[in-house]
Structure 1
Amino acid sequence: MSRSLYFENSHGRIWEEPEGYVRLVYHAGPREAVQFRALLTHAAQALSRHRWSRMLVDQRDMAPFNPTEQDWMTNQWLPRAVNEHGYRHGAILVAHNVFARLATTQFVMATRDLPHTYRTFESEAEALAWLVAPGGNQG
């Protein structure tokens, strides 16, 4: 089985990986609200489609989240992704942009009460090792 492209728009690309996780890759540059929300909504739907719980989020080229995006992700998208789509483990490849890293840290801290675990990584190999680890992504 090979990876398949699930969705793509001007803000990113979503892959379904044969190891049983969704890969969300953010494109560089500014974002528009409708396209941004569509990208993340499709990512959650891709999880549901396979009953997967894991996502690799590649933010390496991503611009920082703006306050509106941050609020929507924190208060609407992630709670819905966790409670309705089964999202449980997110491995984040951290952004090169320091402000994007800070925005992601704020998002992770604001959502830590959900039954969901994020870990951040510089290395894709380390992120994947954690994400697809047998026995459940502890640590």
Structure 2
Amino acid sequence: MAARSVYFENAAGRVWEEPQHYLRLDYYAGPREEVAFRALLTHALRAMTRRGWGKLLIDQRKMAPYSDAERAWMVEEWLPRAIREGGYRYGAVVLAENAFARVSMTRLAMASRELGNTYKTFDTEDEAMGWLTQVGVAAR
């Protein structure tokens, strides 16, 4: 089996290309600068578009809560583009340890539920990977 490879990394996190035909987004601990956050997600979108993979495993275990500005940008700009241009359909979220970050993700999922992608949350990485590899077919 092919090995996973790093697609992009900055102070906010890392984007991996996984051999099972999905992307993985790992958020790093601590506060994020908005420029780094947007760059991380913009590169995730580029990888989705390049690969034609509409699945994303999002590891939020160490993540700080989304700011209002981050959440608004994701719902109003990034998610619609990711769905339209990258074929984003399925997001498996490994929930944050921080309770406020969990609430932040719930607010994001509720605000974006009309956009056409599906989020499912998990307590463990193995559960998230299992679901993500079973749902749908590789987008595109």
Q: Which TM-score band (shorter chain)?
A: over 0.9
Partner of residue 125, structure 2: 124
Give the secondary structure class of the aligned counterpart of 1:132. Answer: helix
Higher relative contact order structure (alpha carbons within 8 Å, sequence separation ≥ 6): 2
CA RMSD between the two structures: 1.3
For each residue in 1:6-57, what CA deviation from the matched residue of structure 2 results, as whole angstroms up to 9, or x when unmatched? 0000010010000000000000011111110000010111111110010000
Distance 1:91 1:13 in 2: 16
| 2:88 match | 87
Q: Distance in 2 between matches of 1:68 and 1:114?
A: 19
Cα distance in structure 2, aligned partners of 1:134 and 1:32: 33
Taking the aligned partners of 1:21 and 1:37, their CA distance within structure 2 comes to: 20
In the alignment, the residues of structure 2 paired with residue 78 and residue 14 of structure 1 have an alpha-carbon distance, to the nearest angstrom, of: 16
1:107 aligned onto 2:112: no
Task: Provide the rounded CA distance (Å) in 2 between the counterparts of 1:3 and 1:128.
Answer: 14
Distance 1:64 1:134 in 2: 27
Partner of 1:35: 36
- Please list every run of 5 or more consecutive structure 2 residues that lacks an aligned counterpart in the other structure: none
Structure 2 SS opposite 1:8: strand
TM-score, with normalisation over the residues of structure 1? 0.95
Q: What is the match of residue 55 of structure 1? A: 56
5+ residue gaps, structure 1, are none
The verdict on how the C-alpha distance between 1:52 and 1:63 changes in structure 2, with shifts beyond 3 A counting, is: same
Quote the residue 1:24 is aligned against. 25
Structure 2 CA distance for aligned equivalents of residues 10 and 123 of structure 1: 24
CA distance in 2, matches of 1:114, 1:43: 18
Which aligned runs of 4 or more in structure 1 are off by greater than 4 angstroms?
Answer: none
Identity of aligned residues (%): 54
Alpha-carbon offset, residue 123 of structure 1: 1.1
The TM-score with structure 2 as length reference comes to 0.95
Q: 1:79 to 1:135 in 2, by over 3 A?
A: closer
Q: Distance in 2 between matches of 1:87 and 1:101?
A: 21
Matched with 1:73 is 74
Do residues 45 (structure 1) and 40 (structure 2) align? no
The total of aligned residue pairs comes to 137
Displacement after TM superposition at 1:134 (Å): 5.8
